[in-house]
Amino acid sequence: MIDTMRSDWDAWFMVASGAQLEQRGLTPRRPEPGEAVVEVAGCGVCHTDVAFSFDGVKTRSALPLVLGHEISGIVREIGDGVDPALLGRAVIVPAVLPCGECDLCRAGRRAICRNQVMPGNDRHGGFASHVVVPARYLCPVPERLLASHELWELAVVSDAVSTPFQAVKRSGLAPGEFAVFVGSGGIGIHGVQVASAAGATVVAVDVSPAKLEQASAAGAKGVVDGSGMATKEVRKAVRNLAESLGAPPHCWKIFETSGTRSGQETAYALLGYGGVLSVVGYSTERIEINLSNLMAYDAEARGNWGADPLIYPELLEWIGDGRIHVKPYIERHPLASINDVFDQAHHGRLTKRAVLIPS
């Protein structure tokens, strides 16, 4: 078992492993009605996991807690009331699992269900050999996709791919429109792919030349290296690039996918007439903005918390059709290396999304 403790917050992650968990009072349990036990094939390391560890962001469940919410695996056991057809199926575990019964769920607002379960936040997550989760919205992986992908490779679909996929769809992005992704890392790179596949002219902004190179390969028609540039300079560079690409000057779709203060400031500054800002990244830092810009530009800004589980089948179709690629942007690590991987992620040394694989 691997565990780490931070002096500034009593954070404690654990890799689940039978007798060791029992020693900590965390004996793996049988599934209750409506639940399933998933044998973890892989679990992606998200910026949110790192925030829990290093940035003082508190989990909703009390510690100690097994982190990890980007999970793919095989259903090994089910509780009462769960479709027996799920047994033995390869599945994606949505990062946010709504109850499906409350007023918000019935109104189609499943992402903000107040009874939702997020593995690695509300209960033990996927940095383990097995995880117990609500079964209602588990997404079976089509056989044709398993013929071209290993199951662990699809773990990032749970959040890193599905969240920007939903953000793009909710923005109303249409062919021929102009889309800007501020941050082209583990989440932004998939947003670039989705927007490009949707027929938009896409530009990526980042401070890492390596990530911008990846964004170009993923479909970005232009890139802006914002390192050492003031927000106004980045805005001017993007506008010049939009003009050179023949993009429309108004109604831009802006996606904040960096999860940094500077990225959020830049994304808001890019809003113009009829613009739509989709906030996908997460940061604990505060920024100052002029809300009147939304009024003056008749613009919109909205957040994106996870993804509605109902979009996952369509997303898997996009991957199966080759409109979205996950393999070039992930790398495999053994679960036992969790501490080192978290440290690398915290210091920005990872160029690809790390997926931890149980031994």
15-46 pLDDT, tens per residue?
Answer: 444 434 444 545 568 999 999 999 999 999 99
Confidence of residue 5 (pLDDT cuts 50, 70, 90): very low
Residue 12 is predicted with a pLDDT of: 38
Cα separation of 66 and 75, whole Å? 19
Whether 189 contacts 180, CB under 8 Å: no
Q: Residue holding tokens 């969790």?
A: 338
pLDDT at 301 over 90: yes
- Asked if residue 97 has pLDDT above 90, the reply is yes
User: Residue 206: enclosing H or E segment and its boundaries?
Assistant: strand 201-206
pLDDT in tens, 128-180: 999 999 999 999 999 999 999 999 999 999 999 999 999 999 999 999 999 99
pLDDT at 359: 84
Q: What is the pTM of this model?
A: 0.91
Q: What is the mean pLDDT of residues 62-67?
A: 94
322-337 average pLDDT score = 97
CA–CA separation, 74 vs 247, rounded Å?
Answer: 45
Q: How many CA atoms lie within 13 A of 28 on its CB side?
A: 20
Identify the sign of the CA torsion 254, 258, 260, 266: negative
pLDDT value for 28:
60
3-state helix, strand, coil in the chain (%, to 5): 35, 20, 45
* 218-256 confidence digits (pLDDT tens): 999 999 999 999 999 999 999 999 999 999 999 999 999
- Which residue would you say has higher pLDDT here, 9 or 239? 239
* Range 190-210 average pLDDT: 97
Q: Which of 12-26, 216-230, 303-317, 340-354 has the lowest mean pLDDT?
A: 12-26
Concatenating the DSSP letter of every residue in 132-174 gives EEE-TT-EEPPHHHHTTS-GGGGGGGGTTTHHHHHHHHHHT--
Residue 39, φ and ψ in degrees, nearest 5: -80, 120
Tell me the percentage of the chain whose pLDDT exceeds 70.
92
Crossing angle for the helix pair 261-269 and 231-244, nearest 10 degrees? 50
Domains and CATH numbers, the chain: 18-159+307-357 (3.90.180.10), 162-303 (3.40.50.720)
pLDDT at 27: 53
Which range among 7-16, 27-36, 106-115, 319-328 shows the weakest confidence by mean pLDDT? Answer: 7-16
Q: Quick one: pLDDT at residue 283? A: 87
Residue 294: is its pLDDT beyond 60?
yes
Whether the predicted pLDDT of 185 surpasses 70: yes
Over its C-alpha atoms, the chain yields an Rg (Å, rounded) of: 20
- Mean pLDDT, rounded, of the chain: 92
Write the pLDDT tens digit of every residue in 283-293.
889 999 999 99
Residue percentage of the chain with pLDDT more than 90 = 88
